[in-house]
Amino acid sequence: MSPFRLFWIFVKVSSFTIGGGYAMIPVIKEFIVDKYKIMKEDEFLDVIVTAQTVPGVIAINTAMILGSRLAGLWGAFFAVLGASLTPFLIILVIATFFTDFVDLPVFKGFFAGARVGVTVILANLSFQLLKKSLKRYLVLMVIAAGTVAIVFFNISSIWILLLCSALIYIIDRRLAR
Partner 1 sequence: MILLELFWSFFKIGLLAFGGGYGALSLIQDQIVNINNWMNIEEFLTLISISQMTPGPIAINSATFIGYRIAGVPGSVCSTIGVVLPSVFWIFLILRLLKLSSKWIDTSEVFNALRLGIVALILSATFRIGIESINSIFALILGILAFLTLYKFKLSVIWIVLGTGLVGVIWTALFPI
Q: How far is the CB of 4 from partner 1 (least distance, A)?
A: 19
Residue 36 touching partner 1 (CB under 8 A):
no
**Do the beta carbons of residue 38 and residue 113 sit within 8 Å?**
no
**Rounded Cα–Cα distance for residues 80 and 64 (Å):** 6
Looking at beta carbons only, is 105 or 177 nearer to partner 1?
A: 105
Residue 116 touching partner 1 (CB under 8 A):
yes
Task: Mention every residue, 6+ apart, whose C-beta is less than 8 A from residue 25.
Answer: 48, 62, 122, 125
Residue 88 touching partner 1 (CB under 8 A):
yes
Q: How far is the CB of 105 from partner 1 (least distance, A)?
A: 5
Among positions 18, 134, 141, 175, the unique one binding partner 1 when judged by CB under 8 A: 18
Among positions 2, 115, 134, 141, the unique one binding partner 1 when judged by CB under 8 A: 115
Looking at beta carbons only, is 2 or 126 nearer to partner 1?
A: 126
**C-alpha Rg value of the chain to the nearest Å:** 18
Residue 74 touching partner 1 (CB under 8 A):
no
Among positions 4, 8, 111, 134, the unique one binding partner 1 when judged by CB under 8 A: 111
Count of residues touching partner 1 (by CB under 8 A): 96
C-alpha dist (Å) from residue 12 to 6, 28, 66, 95: 10, 9, 15, 22
Q: How far is the CB of 54 from partner 1 (least distance, A)?
A: 4
Of 85, 84, 79, 70, the residue nearest 4 (C-alpha): 79
Among positions 4, 8, 40, 54, the unique one binding partner 1 when judged by CB under 8 A: 54
**Rounded Cα–Cα distance for residues 26 and 79 (Å):** 17
Among positions 1, 5, 38, 50, the unique one binding partner 1 when judged by CB under 8 A: 50
Secondary structure class of 90 (helix, strand, coil): helix
Among positions 26, 39, 70, 71, the unique one binding partner 1 when judged by CB under 8 A: 26
C-alpha dist (Å) from residue 91 to 81, 88, 94, 105: 15, 5, 5, 19
